[in-house]
C-alpha cells in the first residue's frame, strides 16, 4: 500500500501542470493510528500485561516468551503509527513517494497494538506469534495463486472475474483425480488443467466473441459452481471413493526450517507452498524483466501499438488467460489435497473475490499480490486466534477487513490503484 | 434430443420474412433475435440433458455392457431424461398428477413467486447496464434491503397497510443506501463500480451476520442467527388465497417493471441516464452531469434490489437470516442479461428462471437430481446468449445484417 504520486494519465486528466499534492494516504494512516491510540492504547486497563509466545515446543532454538505492560506497549506502537503518518504527510507535501518500508512498519505497529490490546489482562492465554504467522501464510496460499492469475490476465487486458470459478474447478478436479489415483500429488497436476479450461472458455468468449468479460466471468463462476455441485451431489456422493480426504505431508527443509520464527513459518510447509514461492518469483521477474513480460504489458496497455510492432494481441491474451487459469486452478488444490480435505459444495466460499481484491491492492504485480494476500491471510488467521482467546472485536468486523481495505484502495483514499489501460476492451482489428 | 434439433432446423425460414415493426418494444424483442434466445435455451437444455445422462446410475450400469446390448443404454437414457424433464414441467408449470385444480396450477404460482425477487433485482441491474454501470452488488443491496425491511417488520407494531408500506419503503431505502456508496465513490473518485460492489456484497454479509448476533435482532429462545418473525401487519398479503404462496410483491414487481419502462423510455431523467450509458463524452458535452447520473442510477438500482429483499422477508420466508438473499443477486444478473435490460424482457426472463428454480424440489423428489443442474442450465443459457455468433454457428443460423452490442 505504498503511496505513489499520481500516474501520468491521472495527471493528464486533471490538466494540472504540476501533480496535485495527495494527502489522502497520510490522512487515512493518521486517522487509523489515532483510533489505535484511543482504542488500543487508552482503552487498555493500566497495569494489565500481555504475553507473547514465539517459540513452540518443537523448535530447535528456544526463544523465551515475553510479557509486556499492555497499555504502554499499545501507546508506543500507536505513536510509531502516528509518526509514520506524519512522515507520509511530510513527503506528500514535497510531492515525493514514501518507501515500501513505511506501510510495512506501519502495519506491523498497528497490528502489534491490536494484539497487545486483545491479549491484555488474559493471564491464562497468550498470543501465539509463530502459529499466527504460519496460519497467515497457509491461508494466503489460494489468495496468492488467485491474485497471480488475475494479474497475468489483466496485464494482458482480460478482466478475470472467474478466479473464483477457476479455484473451485481446480479444487474439484484435484480431489477427483487424486482420489482416483490415490496420490495427492497427482491432484496438483490435475488442478491446473481444470483452471486452464475455465480460463480458455473465458479467453475464447472475450477475444473471439467480444463478449463483455465481466459478464463471462460472473457466468463462468455460476457455471463452475453448478457443475461441481452437480457432480458432487451425484457421482461423488454415490461413490465415496471418488472424493477422499488426502493430505500432503509438510516437508521441512533441512537447516532453513531451524531458523527461529521464520524457519517453521516459511520452510516447514507442504509442496504447494514451495511451488508458490517459485511461481511468485518467476512471474515477478518474467513480467517486469523479460521480453515476454514487456510484450504482455504492451498488449494490456496499448494493444494497437503492440499490434503495429508485430505482437499478436489476441494470441497473447488467450495464452495469458489460459496460463492464469492454470495458476488459479493450482491454487484451488489448496482447498482439497493441500489441506487434507475432501471436496465440498461451494468450498472456495468467495476466496476468488478476495484474490481479486489482493490483485488490486497489490497493484497488478506478483510481488504486490503476495504482500496483499499475506495481509488478508493475516487478517483471517487473526480472526481465528482472537476467536480462540475471546476478543472484544466481533469476528465479523475482522472478516470485513479485506473488502473494506480494497474499497479504500480503489477509491484512491489509500494509494492509487490504476489498472492496465486496455483491460476489458476487446481488440478488434 | 434429435427431435429437438429437427424442429429447430425448420425455424430460420419462419424468421426471415419478418417485416419491420413500428412499436419500439416489439422491435426490441425481435432485434434481440428471439431466435438466438430460443436456440440458446434449447442448447442449454440439451447440455443439461447430457449431464443428467452422465450422472445417471442406470445409464452408467447399462453402458458397461453397451456393445452387447445397446438398447438397455438407450432405454436408461430415455428414462433419465424423461424423468428429469417431466419433473421440471411438473414442478414449474402444471402438476399433471394432481387431483384438484388448485394443486394442478400450484407449480405455476410457485414459479411466479420465485420470479418476484428476480424481477425486482433484474430491473435494478438492467437500469445499471443501460446507464453503462456494471453493478455486481445486487446481492449486498438485497441483504441490506431485507435487513431494513425485516427490522421495521418485527420491531414495530403498526396498523395494517401503514406497516407494510413502511416495511417496503425500508427495503427500498436499505438497498438504495448500499447502491449509493459505489455510486458516490465512482462519481467522486472514479473507483470501479464492479470492484466496489463485489466488496460491498461481503461487507453486507458480515454486517448482517453481526447484526443477527445482537439482541435486537435475535429471535427469543433461539441460539441460531435468525430474527423474529415479521409481524402479520407487515407481510405481503397472499393474492390467490392462503393455499398459494404467491403474494402482493409479485404485483408490485410488475408495477415496478412498468415504472422502469416509463422512467427509461418516457422521462427526461431516463433519457439522460441512457445517454450517459451510450456515450459519456457526448452526454458531458451536451451538459449532462455524469457523476449525478451515476449516483442516481446506482440509487435506483439499489432501491429495486432492496425491494427484491422484500420478497423473502415480507413474502415467503418472513424472517431475516444472513442467507436470506440466497443467490438472487447473481441470478438477477443473468435475468437482466437474458432480458437484454428491457423491463418486458426482464419479467419474461425472471419467470423462466423462476420456473427453473421452482422445479428444484420436484427434480430432487421425482427424478433424484440435485438442484444444481438448474444453476448449470441457467449459466449456460446466459453464456450462449452473450455470444450470438456461437449460437448461430452451432445451429447454422444466418447472421443478421447488423450485430447488436451485448449488454453493458
Report CB contact under 8 Å: A233, B372. Answer: yes
Closest CA to B36 of B10, B22, B15: B15
Q: What average pLDDT does this structure show over B182-190?
A: 87
Q: What average pLDDT does this structure show over B234-254?
A: 86
- Please state, rounded to an integer, the average pLDDT across all residues of chain B: 82
pLDDT higher than 60, residue B258: yes
Q: Which residues contact A78 (CB under 8 A, 6 or more apart)?
A: A33, A34, A36, A37, A40, A41, A109, A110, A113
Torsions phi, psi for A53 (to 5 deg):
-110, 125
The residue extents of the domains of chain B are 27-92+352-402, 119-338
Chain B nearest CA to A399, separation (Å): 7
Report CB contact under 8 Å: B206, A397. Answer: yes
3-state secondary structure (DSSP) of residue B226: coil
Chain A nearest CA to B348, separation (Å): 19
Other beta carbons within 10 Å of A53: 17
Q: How confident is the model at residue A402 (pLDDT cuts 50, 70, 90)?
A: confident
- Please state, rounded to an integer, the average pLDDT across all residues of chain A: 82
pLDDT (0 to 100) of residue A101: 75
- Residue length, chain B? 408
A6: contact with B, CB 8 A cutoff:
no
pLDDT (0 to 100) of residue A7: 44
Chain B CB contacts of A209 below 8 Å = 386-387, 389-390
Q: What average pLDDT does this structure show over B386-407?
A: 68
What ipTM did this prediction achieve?
A: 0.81
Of these ranges, A124-138, A409-423, B289-303, the one predicted with the greatest mean pLDDT is: B289-303
A18 within 8 A of A32, measured Cβ to Cβ? no
Q: Minimum mean pLDDT among A61-65, B14-18, B216-220: which range? A: B14-18
pLDDT higher than 50, residue A10: no
What's B399's DSSP letter?
Answer: P
CA distance B388 to B33: 9
Report CB contact under 8 Å: A400, B206. Answer: yes
Q: How confident is the model at residue B124 (pLDDT cuts 50, 70, 90)?
A: very high
A341: its cell numbers = 480435505
pLDDT (0 to 100) of residue A141: 92
The tens digit of pLDDT for each residue in B275-323 reads 888 888 888 888 888 888 899 999 999 999 999 999 999 988 888 888 8
Chain A CB contacts of B55 below 8 Å = 230-231, 234-235
Q: How far apart are the first and last CA of chain A?
A: 37
pLDDT (0 to 100) of residue B166: 92
Q: Minimum mean pLDDT among B145-149, B345-349, B370-374, B388-392: which range? A: B388-392
What's A52's DSSP letter?
Answer: E
Residue of B nearest to A354 (CA): B199
Q: What share of chain A is helix, strand, coil (3-state, %, to 5)?
A: 65, 5, 30
Q: What percent of chain A has pLDDT over 70?
A: 88
Q: What average pLDDT does this structure show over A23-39?
A: 81
Beta strand pairing call for A49-53 and A127-128? parallel
pLDDT (0 to 100) of residue B226: 84
Q: Is A138 exposed, middle or buried (0-12, 13-18, 19+ CB in 10 A)?
A: buried
Which phi-psi region, left, alpha or beta, contains residue B34 (left: φ > 0; alpha: ψ -120 to 50)?
alpha
pLDDT (0 to 100) of residue A246: 79
CA distance B131 to B292: 12
Report CB contact under 8 Å: A215, B207. Answer: no
The residue extents of the domains of chain A are 8-125, 130-371
A358 within 8 A of A142, measured Cβ to Cβ? no
pLDDT higher than 80, residue A4: no
E-only strand ranges, A215-334: 251-252, 268-269
pLDDT higher than 80, residue A30: yes
Amino acid at each position: 500500500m505504498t503511496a505513489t504520486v499520481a500516474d501520468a494519465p491521472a495527471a493528464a486528466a486533471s490538466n494540472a501542470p504540476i501533480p496535485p499534492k495527495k494527502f489522502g494516504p497520510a490522512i487515512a494512516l493518521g486517522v487509523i493510528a489515532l483510533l489505535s491510540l484511543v482504542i488500543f492504547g487508552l482503552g487498555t486497563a493500566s497495569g494489565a500485561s500481555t504475553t507473547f509466545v514465539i517459540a513452540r515446543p518443537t523448535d530447535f532454538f528456544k526463544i523465551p516468551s515475553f510479557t509486556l505492560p499492555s497499555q504502554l506497549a499499545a501507546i508506543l506502537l500507536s505513536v510509531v503509527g502516528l509518526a509514520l503518518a506524519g512522515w507520509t504527510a511530510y513527503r506528500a507535501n514535497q510531492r515525493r513517494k514514501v518507501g515500501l518500508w513505511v506501510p510495512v512498519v506501519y502495519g506491523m505497529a498497528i497490528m502489534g497494538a491490536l494484539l497487545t490490546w486483545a491479549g491484555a489482562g488474559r493471564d491464562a492465554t497468550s498470543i501465539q506469534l509463530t502459529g499466527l504467522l504460519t496460519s497467515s501464510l497457509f491461508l494466503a496460499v489460494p489468495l496468492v495463486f488467485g491474485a497471480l492469475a488475475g494479474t497475468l490476465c489483466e496485464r494482458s487486458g482480460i478482466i478475470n472475474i472467474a478466479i473464483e470459478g477457476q479455484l473451485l474447478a481446480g479444487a474439484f478436479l484435484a480431489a477427483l483425480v487424486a482420489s482416483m489415483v490415490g496420490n495427492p500429488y497427482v491432484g496438483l497436476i490435475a488442478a491446473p488443467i481444470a483452471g486452464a479450461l475455465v480460463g480458455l472458455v473465458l479467453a475464447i468468449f472475450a477475444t473471439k466473441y467480444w463478449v463483455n468479460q465481466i459478464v463471462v466471468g460472473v457466468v463462468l463462476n455460476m457455471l463452475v459452481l453448478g457443475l461441481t455441485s452437480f457432480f458432487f451431489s451425484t457421482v461423488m456422493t454415490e461413490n465415496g471413493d471418488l472424493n477422499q480426504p488426502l493430505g500432503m505431508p509438510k516437508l521441512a527443509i533441512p537447516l532453513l526450517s531451524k531458523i527461529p520464527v521464520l524457519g517453521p513459518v516459511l520452510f516447514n510447509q507442504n509442496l504447494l507452498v514451495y511451488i508458490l514461492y517459485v511461481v511468485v518469483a518467476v512471474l515477478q521477474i518474467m513480467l517486469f524483466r523479460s521480453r515476454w513480460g514487456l510484450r504482455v504489458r504492451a498488449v494490456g496497455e496499448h494493444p494497437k501499438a503492440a499490434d503495429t510492432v508485430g505482437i499478436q494481441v489476441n494470441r497473447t491474451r488467450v495464452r495469458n488467460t489460459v496460463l492464469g487459469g492454470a495458476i488459479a486452478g493450482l491454487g484451488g488444490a489448496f482447498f482439497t489435497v493441500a489441506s487434507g480435505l475432501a471436496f465440498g459444495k461451494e468450498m472456495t466460499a468467495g476466496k476468488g473475490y478476495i484474490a481479486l481484491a489482493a490483485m488490486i491492492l497489490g497493484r497488478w504485480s506478483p510481488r504486490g499480490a503476495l504482500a496483499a494476500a499475506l495481509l488478508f491471510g493475516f487478517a483471517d488467521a487473526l480472526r481465528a486466534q482472537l476467536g480462540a482467546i475471546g476478543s472484544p472485536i466481533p469476528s465479523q468486523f475482522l472478516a470485513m477487513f479485506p473488502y473494506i481495505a480494497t474499497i479504500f484502495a480503489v477509491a484512491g483514499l489509500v494509494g492509487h490503484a490504476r489498472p492496465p489501460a486496455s483491460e476489458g476492451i476487446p481488440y478488434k482489428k | 434430443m434429435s427431435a429437438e434439433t429437427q424442429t429447430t432446423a425448420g425455424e430460420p425460414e419462419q424468421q426471415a420474412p419478418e417485416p419491420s415493426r413500428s412499436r419500439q418494444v416489439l422491435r426490441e424483442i425481435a432485434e434481440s433475435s428471439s431466435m438466438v434466445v430460443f436456440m440458446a435455451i434449447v442448447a442449454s437444455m440439451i447440455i443439461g440433458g447430457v449431464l443428467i445422462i452422465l450422472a445417471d446410475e442406470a445409464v452408467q450400469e447399462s453402458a458397461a455392457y453397451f456393445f452387447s446390448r445397446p438398447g438397455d443404454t438407450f432405454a436408461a437414457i430415455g428414462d433419465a431424461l424423461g424423468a428429469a424433464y417431466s419433473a421440471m414441467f411438473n414442478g414449474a408449470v402444471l402438476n399433471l398428477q394432481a387431483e384438484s385444480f388448485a394443486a394442478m396450477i400450484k407449480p405455476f404460482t410457485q414459479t411466479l413467486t420465485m420470479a418476484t425477487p428476480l424481477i425486482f433485482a433484474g430491473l435494478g441491474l438492467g437500469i445499471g447496464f443501460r446507464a453503462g454501470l456494471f453493478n455486481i452488488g445486487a446481492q449486498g443491496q438485497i441483504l441490506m434491503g431485507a435487513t431494513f425491511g425485516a427490522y421495521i417488520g418485527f420491531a414495530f407494531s403498526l396498523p395494517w397497510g401503514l406497516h407494510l408500506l413502511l416495511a417496503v419503503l425500508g427495503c427500498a431505502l436499505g438497498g438504495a443506501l448500499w447502491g449509493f456508496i459505489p455510486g458516490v465513490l465512482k462519481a467522486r473518485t472514479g473507483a470501479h463500480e464492479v470492484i466496489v460492489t463485489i466488496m460491498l456484497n461481503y461487507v453486507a454479509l458480515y454486517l448482517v451476520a453481526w447484526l443477527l448476533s445482537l439482541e435486537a435482532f435475535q429471535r427469543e429462545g433461539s441460539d441460531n442467527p435468525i430474527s423474529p418473525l415479521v409481524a402479520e401487519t407487515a407481510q405481503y398479503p397472499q393474492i390467490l388465497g392462503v393455499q398459494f404462496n404467491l403474494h402482493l410483491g409479485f404485483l408490485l414487481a410488475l408495477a415496478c417493471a412498468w415504472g422502469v419502462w416509463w422512467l427509461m423510455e418516457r422521462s427526461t431523467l431516463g433519457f439522460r441516464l441512457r445517454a450517459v450509458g451510450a456515450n459519456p463524452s457526448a452526454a458531458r458535452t451536451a451538459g449532462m452531469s455524469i457523476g449525478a447520473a451515476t449516483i442516481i442510477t446506482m440509487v435506483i438500482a439499489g432501491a429495486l434490489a432492496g425491494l427484491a429483499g422484500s420478497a423473502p422477508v415480507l413474502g415467503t420466508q418472513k424472517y431475516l437470516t444472513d442467507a436470506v438473499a440466497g443467490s438472487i443477486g447473481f441470478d438477477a444478473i443473468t435475468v437482466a442479461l437474458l432480458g437484454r435490460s428491457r423491463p418486458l424482457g426482464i419479467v419474461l426472463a425472471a419467470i423462466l428462471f423462476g420456473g427453473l428454480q421452482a422445479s428444484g424440489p420436484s427434480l430432487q423428489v421425482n427424478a433424484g437430481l440435485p438442484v444444481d443442474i438448474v444453476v448449470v442450465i441457467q449459466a449456460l443459457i446466459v453464456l450462449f446468449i452473450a455470444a450470438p455468433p456461437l449460437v448461430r454457428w452451432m445451429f447454422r443460423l444466418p447472421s443478421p445484417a447488423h450485430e447488436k452490442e451485448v449488454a453493458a
